[in-house]
Amino acid sequence: MKSTHRVTRHLLILVLLSSLLVACVAAPVTPDESATTSESMESEGPKMGGVVTGFVSSDPQNFDPAAIAGWDQGVIAPNLLEGLFRLSPDGREIEPAIAESFDVSEDGKTWTFNLRSGAKFHNGREITADDFKYSFERVLNPETRSPKAWMLSIVVGAEDFQDGAADEVSGIRVVDAQTLEIELAEPLAPFKSMLASINLAVVPQEEVEKWGEDFGQNVVSAGPFSLGEWNLNQDVTLNAFEEYWNGRPYLDAVTFRFIGDENTRIVELDAGRLDMAWVPPAHWERFSTDPVYKEKLGWAETFHTDFIAVNLESEPFGANPKLRQAVRYALDLDAVIASLQGRATVAQGILPPGLLGFDENAMLNYPVNLESAKALMAEAGYADGLPGTFDVILPPWGNLIKLLEIYQANLKEIGINIEIRPTEFGPYMEALETGNYDLAWMYRVTDYADPDGFYFPLMHSDNLGAGGNYARYANADVDANIATARATIDDAERARLYQAVDAQFAEDLPYIPLTHNIYVDVSRPRVQNYVPSPMDTHMFHRVWVEE
């Protein structure tokens, strides 16, 4: 009797303790391998083999290049998919991929690509020019329902093909097995970066036909990794592609786990079961001060700009550039960046740093200056402040509202009252598209790594309204410069044109630039040579592990 009582009591205490334990434990500061790895940092170079475990927030479901539009897909896909060009591992350069070299005709309309001999699909078959013709026509084909078909709409004959008037795209020509020719209706400089997009990756016809509707879950393409085991809703593994044209990856495989909860990712990292995780604000303090982890923070200044769009067709902000300048002078962007734990930089224009044409000196330079702001208010005729209250619409994302409250307080100081109006994404977009708003917080990322992805939709008058120019900005010089830059292949000339656009932008300020985001993740000490990229793609071709 006595002994059973004792056992019962012990068990009882155990259960109760575990119940109580939840209330009083703190996370340990460092993982246990910290001591050993700090010395091995200066290692002898890349090693073959090993597996890295990364994450995305939900099951990407589909890697068909023609269907990809989501973030989770975009993070993984560049490891699997490849086309004529690709992004460099840090995401800042466009490199030749299956195209070994290319040539653009004098008029900028005909692009000739010499394909790399020996480049293969994951199924082992050699890639030919016919495969590109097939892949591009597949994206354009309305039956494919590709959200990115517009990237090829400038190709000669694309429209006839989409309308069913032609059964092939006349502007995509196979010269021979190794030579592809694409003719554009107009010269288009950013076409190169579009060709580096995962949406225009090459796929083999036989596999697409074999898998039918299931191709997205059984993708075969030409990237450094091939699709391995995929556990629905759980994880997906990519295996090293031995015959990749640029040498097989150092890693044997990369597994991406689907973990939606940001705290769970950190716990997984601490438990040593995840090699990298995005750093949530609540964990910033810890990782940025930890002696081991602070060396393993991955920074990426993303091609992302936050700004306030001003509806130029509405009074009083639309009618008065001085008022818009006053707003920019009044905003305490440093305070906002501090509240983002330093994970952003001040935007001096619409273009994020790192893209062609970005020039710190040519950009507007509006430091926080309440005096200037008040002087501009007076010049605009509102020395005693602006009567009335103005709505700023924004998507209903919790952390945004906190930032907007800082701007609200800033603007109050120069006599402008704004009301923060979180709006569901659908109605929010509708307001931007129809022009039924005064001020809107918004952001822009680009689908292709080129300044055109910012200037053309936001500022060219062809895109007024629904096309992306939500401010309804129209300036003949700006239009001409953007159009010329689009059609100019020479980079230096393009940069000069964009800087001219920036100068005009600084005066007119149809969009009030706020900040550029910085993405920060942390990886375990074993992961080497990993950099997050500004395009939200995480490339693993040259990543290796130190065991």
Partner 1 sequence: MLGYSVRRLIQIVPILIGLVTVLFALLNILPGDPARMMAGPFADPDVVKTIREEMGFNRPLWVQYLDNLGNLARGEFGRSYQSRRPILRDLIEVFPKTIQLAVAAEVASALIGIWLGVIAAARRNGWADRLIMMIAALNLSFPLFWLALMLQIAFAVFLRLLPPSGYGIGFDRFIILPAFTLALPSLGLLARITRAALLEVMAEDYIRTARAKGLRNALVMRRHMLPNALIPIVSTIGTDFVRLLGGIPIIEVIFAWPGIGKYAYDALVFRDLPALQASVVVLAVSVSLVNLAVDLLYAYINPRIRYV
Q: Which residues form the interface with partner 1 (CB under 8 A)? A: 8-9, 12, 15-16, 18-23, 25-28, 58-59, 61-62, 67, 69-70, 142, 145, 147, 149-150, 213-214, 216-217, 231-234, 257-261, 263-264, 267-268, 270-271, 273, 424-427, 429, 433, 444, 447, 457, 466-468
Q: Which is nearer to partner 1, 249 or 534 (CB)?
A: 534
Q: How far apart are CA 497 and CA 489, in angstroms?
A: 12
Q: Which is nearer to partner 1, 14 or 383 (CB)?
A: 14
Nearest partner of 376 among 327, 446, 432, judged by Cα: 327
Tell me the two tokens of residue 136.
């591009």
Note if the bond before 316 is cis, omega within 30 degrees.
yes
Q: Which is nearer to partner 1, 217 or 341 (CB)?
A: 217
Q: How far apart are CA 464 and CA 472, in angstroms?
A: 5
Cβ pair 298, 278 in contact under 8 A = no
DSSP H helical segments within 45-169, as ranges? 71-76, 129-140, 158-163
Closest distance to partner 1 from the beta carbon of 454 (Å)? 11
Q: How far apart are CA 127 and CA 145, in angstroms?
A: 25
Q: Helix/strand/coil (H, E, C) string of 131-160?
A: HHHHHHHHHHCHHHCCCCHHHHCCECCHHH
The answer to whether the Cα torsion of 436, 440, 442, 444 is positive or negative is positive
Q: Which is nearer to partner 1, 15 or 492 (CB)?
A: 15
Nearest partner of 182 among 203, 205, 157, 161, judged by Cα: 157
Q: Which is nearer to partner 1, 123 or 434 (CB)?
A: 434
Q: Which is nearer to partner 1, 354 or 395 (CB)?
A: 395
Closest distance to partner 1 from the beta carbon of 469 (Å)? 12
Q: Which is nearer to partner 1, 28 or 118 (CB)?
A: 28
Q: Residue 241 carries which DSSP code?
A: -
Closest distance to partner 1 from the beta carbon of 13 (Å)? 9
Largest Cα separation within the chain, whole Å, is 98
Q: How far apart are CA 542 and CA 186, in angstroms?
A: 37
Alpha carbon of 522 to those of 298, 299, 332: distances in Å? 6, 9, 29
Q: How far apart are CA 352 and CA 356, in angstroms?
A: 10
Q: How far apart are CA 367 and CA 519, in angstroms?
A: 24
> What SS3 class is residue 164?
coil
Closest distance to partner 1 from the beta carbon of 309 (Å)? 12
Q: Which is nearer to partner 1, 106 or 143 (CB)?
A: 143
Closest distance to partner 1 from the beta carbon of 511 (Å)? 14
Q: Which is nearer to partner 1, 179 or 217 (CB)?
A: 217
Phi-psi region of 83 (alpha: psi -120 to 50; beta: other; left: phi over 0): beta
Alpha carbon of 57 to those of 73, 230, 263: distances in Å? 10, 15, 12
Q: Which is nearer to partner 1, 255 or 348 (CB)?
A: 255
Question: Alpha carbon 31 to chain centroid distance?
Answer: 31
Closest distance to partner 1 from the beta carbon of 246 (Å)? 29
Tell me the two tokens of residue 29.
């500061």
Closest distance to partner 1 from the beta carbon of 106 (Å)? 31
Q: Residue 356 carries which DSSP code?
A: T
Tell me the two tokens of residue 519.
């993405």
Q: Which is nearer to partner 1, 96 or 395 (CB)?
A: 395
Closest distance to partner 1 from the beta carbon of 528 (Å)? 24
Run of H or E including 373: helix 370-379
Q: Which is nearer to partner 1, 23 or 476 (CB)?
A: 23
Q: Which is nearer to partner 1, 39 or 213 (CB)?
A: 213
391: exposed, middle or buried (Cβ count in 10 Å: 0-12, 13-18, 19+): middle
Q: How far apart are CA 288 and CA 297, in angstroms?
A: 8
Q: How far apart are CA 519 and CA 536, in angstroms?
A: 8
Cβ pair 371, 435 in contact under 8 A = no
Closest distance to partner 1 from the beta carbon of 121 (Å)? 22
